[in-house]
């Protein structure tokens, strides 16, 4: 565990926020043709690798073509989901006024409907990042990662559940907005009934999108191969699996690493912009890696910068991270960054630890908005 963050006075928190605002303004003023070209090249990469991947799968009885085809298709799906879809839906490229890259209308190549995603992710997760009871991304309702989460017997299956979640990530993510665990946790018969009715209604658009994705990958394209249906089918399974494992690993590394923190709901009271920045930073973690890894992670390798500036094009996070790190050092705040393997290992430690009950734990982080109360908590 790293040295604890320095306690900041309200004035310091304000100037901390002001410095980040200034950084943001500088980058926003510089957005232009380079960024537009970049995202158009990303679109091109996605489209060409998809065609190449699907094309190669039709020659899939020839093993190298099968492997290369699956990998290219998986790569295409990864880049589409991460660097293109996720980032475009954050309105990172809305300034281009391009209807094909519009944050509110873009629909991505995965089971989760873009509309649900915009609600659970853009709004809930990004506004209430790592706030217990508000941010459903803390374990997605099925994992226990933080000692502050209440233990239940079902969490004994934590490691198995984490693996299942990774394997079927696209479909389970699609179901996230349903919060199915609320049916399990219902206290009375009536409550269970209302929960079931809610799920039954909300599942309609999800099932529609899921069906479309399943049909496209597992019926339509394999059927075009005629007798080689099983080969193309298998290639699509492999590509989707590759995408599921990679994107879930990236996302696990963003908020579930060893040094990431969660916050009590009171931290939202009177939260200023500076406090909000501080919470985003403490709840997020970066990983280092090659340029290809950054692109394939949708630049969520710079999760800290992404959470501070969710609507700034991801390609800018690398240059912003230099400044963010400097600001963190200046204010004595820990900047959570490590190689991906190390961060991922830390995540699995949390997953195993979370399976077993522990003594009640106080929130490590002070309710951001109440510095004096934080001092009391620390003293206690």
**Identity of the residue, 43 or 365, whose beta carbon is nearer to other proteins in the bound complex:** 43
Indicate which single residue of 310, 346, 354, 367 sits in contact with other proteins (rule: CB under 8 A): 310
Minimum CB distance to other proteins, residue 212 (Å): 11
Contact flag: residue 47 with other proteins (CB under 8 A) = yes
Query: Is 213 in contact with 221 (CB distance < 8 Å)?
Result: no
Between CA 302 and CA 312 the distance in angstroms is 12
> Please, where are the H alpha helices in 60-188?
63-79, 87-89, 114-117, 126-127, 158-167, 169-175, 181-184
- Judged by CB under 8 A, the chain residues 108 through 167 that form the site for other proteins are 118-119, 122-124, 126-127
Minimum CB distance to other proteins, residue 219 (Å): 13
Helix H or strand E encompassing 337: strand 337-339
User: What is the total count of residues that contact other proteins (CB under 8 A)?
Assistant: 37
Contact flag: residue 299 with other proteins (CB under 8 A) = no
Exposure string of 106-129, with b = 16+ CB inside 10 Å and e = fewer, is bebbbbbbbbbbbebbbebbbebb
Minimum CB distance to other proteins, residue 18 (Å): 12
Indicate which single residue of 99, 153, 226, 360 sits in contact with other proteins (rule: CB under 8 A): 99
Indicate which single residue of 12, 45, 103, 180 sits in contact with other proteins (rule: CB under 8 A): 103
Stretch that binds other proteins, among 28-36, 183-191, 228-236, 317-325 (CB under 8 A): 28-36
3-state secondary structure of 131: strand
Minimum CB distance to other proteins, residue 311 (Å): 6
Contact flag: residue 96 with other proteins (CB under 8 A) = yes
3-state secondary structure of 177: helix
Contact flag: residue 32 with other proteins (CB under 8 A) = yes
Instruction: Give the list of residues 6+ apart from residue 57 with CB closer than 8 angstroms, or none.
Output: 65, 66, 69, 70, 73, 221, 225, 231, 232, 235, 236
Between CA 378 and CA 372 the distance in angstroms is 10
- Judged by CB under 8 A, the chain residues 217 through 276 that form the site for other proteins are 273, 276
Minimum CB distance to other proteins, residue 56 (Å): 18
Contact flag: residue 94 with other proteins (CB under 8 A) = yes
As given in the structure block, the two tokens for residue 157 are 């299956």
Cα angle 7, 8, 11; round to 5: 165
Query: Is 309 in contact with 280 (CB distance < 8 Å)?
Result: no
Minimum CB distance to other proteins, residue 36 (Å): 3
Cα angle 340, 159, 356; round to 5: 115
**Identity of the residue, 103 or 141, whose beta carbon is nearer to other proteins in the bound complex:** 103
Stretch that binds other proteins, among 86-94, 174-182, 188-196, 261-269 (CB under 8 A): 86-94
Stretch that binds other proteins, among 19-27, 137-145, 197-205, 238-246 (CB under 8 A): 19-27
Query: Is 129 in contact with 279 (CB distance < 8 Å)?
Result: yes
Instruction: Give the list of residues 6+ apart from residue 197 with CB closer than 8 angstroms, or none.
Output: none
Stretch that binds other proteins, among 96-104, 164-172, 193-201, 223-231 (CB under 8 A): 96-104
Contact flag: residue 323 with other proteins (CB under 8 A) = no
**Identity of the residue, 275 or 350, whose beta carbon is nearer to other proteins in the bound complex:** 275
Query: Is 244 in contact with 263 (CB distance < 8 Å)?
Result: no
Using the structure block, give the residue that is written with the tokens 């990998």.
71
Minimum CB distance to other proteins, residue 127 (Å): 4
Residues that bind other proteins (CB under 8 A): 21, 24-25, 28, 31-37, 43-44, 47, 90-91, 94-100, 102-104, 118-119, 122-124, 126-127, 273, 276, 310-311
């Amino acid at each position: 565990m790293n040295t604890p963050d320095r306690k900041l006075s309200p004035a310091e928190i304000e100037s901390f926020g002001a410095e980040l605002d200034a950084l943001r303004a500088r980058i926003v003023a510089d957005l232009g043709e380079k960024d537009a070209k970049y995202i158009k090249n990303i679109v091109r990469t996605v489209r060409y690798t998809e065609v190449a991947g699907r094309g190669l799968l039709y020659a899939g009885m020839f093993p190298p073509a099968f492997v290369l085809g699956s990998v290219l298709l998986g790569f295409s799906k990864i880049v589409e989901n991460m660097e293109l879809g996720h980032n475009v839906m954050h309105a990172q490229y809305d300034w281009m006024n391009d209807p094909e890259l519009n944050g509110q209308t873009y629909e991505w190549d995965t089971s989760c409907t873009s509309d649900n995603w915009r609600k659970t992710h853009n709004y809930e997760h990004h506004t209430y990042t790592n706030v217990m009871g508000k941010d459903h991304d803390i374990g997605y309702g099925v994992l226990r990662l933080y000692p502050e989460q209440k233990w239940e017997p079902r969490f004994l299956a934590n490691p198995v559940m984490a693996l299942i979640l990774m394997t079927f990530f696209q479909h389970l993510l699609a179901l996230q907005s349903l919060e199915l665990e609320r049916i399990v946790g219902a206290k009375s018969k009536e409550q269970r009934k209302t929960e079931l009715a809610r799920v039954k209604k909300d599942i309609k658009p999800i099932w529609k999108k899921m069906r479309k994705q399943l049909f496209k990958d597992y019926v339509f394209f394999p059927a075009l191969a005629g007798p080689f249906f099983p080969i193309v089918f298998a290639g699509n399974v492999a590509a989707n699996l590759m995408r599921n494992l990679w994107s879930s690993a990236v996302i696990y590394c963003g908020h579930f690493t060893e040094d990431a923190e969660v916050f009590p709901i009171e931290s939202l009271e009177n939260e200023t912009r500076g406090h909000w920045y501080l919470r985003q930073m403490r709840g997020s973690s970066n990983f280092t890696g090659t340029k290809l890894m950054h692109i394939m992670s949708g630049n969520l390798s710079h999760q800290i910068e992404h959470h501070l500036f969710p609507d700034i094009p991801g390609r800018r996070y690398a240059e912003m991270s230099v400044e963010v790190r400097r600001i963190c050092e200046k204010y004595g705040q820990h900047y959570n960054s490590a190689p991906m393997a190390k961060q991922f290992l830390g995540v699995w430690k949390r997953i195993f630890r979370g399976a077993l009950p522990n003594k009640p734990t106080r929130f490590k982080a002070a309710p951001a908005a109440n510095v004096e109360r934080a001092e009391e908590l620390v003293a206690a």
